Chains A and B, each alone.
Chain A
Amino acid sequence: MITAELRRHISLKNISHQNRIGYFFMLPPLLFMLVILGFPILYTFIISFQDVNLRTLISGERPFVGIENYKIVLTSGAFHGALSRSLLFTVGSISLQFSIGLVFALLFRKQFWGANVLRGLVLSGWLIPAVVVGTLFVWLFNLDFGLINFALIMLGLIDNPVGWLVDPQIALFSVTLANIWYGIPFNVIVLSAGLAGLPEGVYEAATVDGANGFQRFRHITLPLMRQSILAVLMLGLIYTLRSFGLIWTITRGGPSGATEVIPTLAYRVGFEFFRFSEAAVIAVFMVLLLLTVAIFYVRATKEEMA
């Protein structure tokens, strides 16, 4: 006859055994993350304290220089310029991506002619690679043959073609527009999922109480969607800050550095000027910046779930 204590002992033993199996199954992804993610980050961190350029890379001698690279990068005008452009690009992108994404998410909640087809087509933008979107916008923004200049002239809004990508004054604006276009489907997907989970009863109660559409949106939809909104803004912040492919395809950071953001600067310093240590410093800065946002996001979602 099995006593209660023995039964308890057996079940505890089973749990610890299951735990061990659980840890065993966790090993492959853990190893994968350590090798594929952990090692490059650690290596970048190490070379940010060494003098690694094309000469020392070949010779193998990498003198330790302390925080010299950090001093050079953090006091350089190029870095400060890229940082401010990154922030402008990110704030501009996220605010409009979110606003337009929310309009689309609210729109596709309604049933109207062609709604399903249009929803599918809008979401298909998310499937296009950044390089393809970049190439598409290079055509659209073309000075002589671009669709945007053609449409604006036809509508009588401008007299002469605008140099969307060749004028340093507006190149960052043009690239931001392209990024807004690219990021909208992601916002629609996350916000639509958030909208789908809202209880219908609350809306019915509010309608009975005499709330109009805007009041329902302001006092029911927005507060209940707090978690989705937080998720989409934080993930958008991370995706936009590390955005490289789109800008590189459209302008390569030009003209005359007008669209140079932190990721393109890191690439240029590393693989065009071959100053690997300084590129590593910029990369470390990016990692710390994104890590801060990620920690904030994880903590915020944890609080929401609790």
Chain B
Amino acid sequence: MSIDAKDDTAVDAEVLRNEVRSKYREVAANPGGEHHFHTGRYLASHLGYDDAFVASLPDAAVESFAGVANPFSLRSLHRGERVVDVGSGAGFDSFVAAHLVGPEGRVIGVDMTAEMLAKARSTAATMVISTVEFREGLAERLPVEDAWADVVVSNGVINLCPDKRAVFSEIHRALRPGGWLQFADIANGNPVPAAALDNVDLWTA
């Protein structure tokens, strides 16, 4: 199994970011469209999220969810914890986190796609949640102060970052000593040819 097969490739980081932005702009605007992955309530149930809680969320909070597993499955969150959600998209995992940490906790969702940020902020306002904030930023340069977070979560994002070492280093900086990293991502059991790794179109295909 390899999660870092795409590391150290010849893919230009900014070209890849633009490709990812383009893909997830589509997911924000047209979540039920023709994507190569599942989205929304079906996906959340498939990945083992709490059906009753997901049912309580408005459509806008769930429909653009495009995670790959459940970052809360190996460890739940505790009341009062401060959480950073790396690549928060339209906010689904941030809203789950806010529910788990309660009114004493805080959640900062970070995303680089303007359409996702706008959707997440609009949904948070509709839900009247004051413990969640969405900030524009990159996984490699999180807009969070040193050692602020008790927990960093992420779902299906790190595999789309060409420099994974930089991402993990940045998450490490944002976490307090003893803090938790709980993330979900894809990993491949069979090797991916080098030519495919260097083809930016295939990273989001």
The yes or no verdict on A and B being binding partners is no
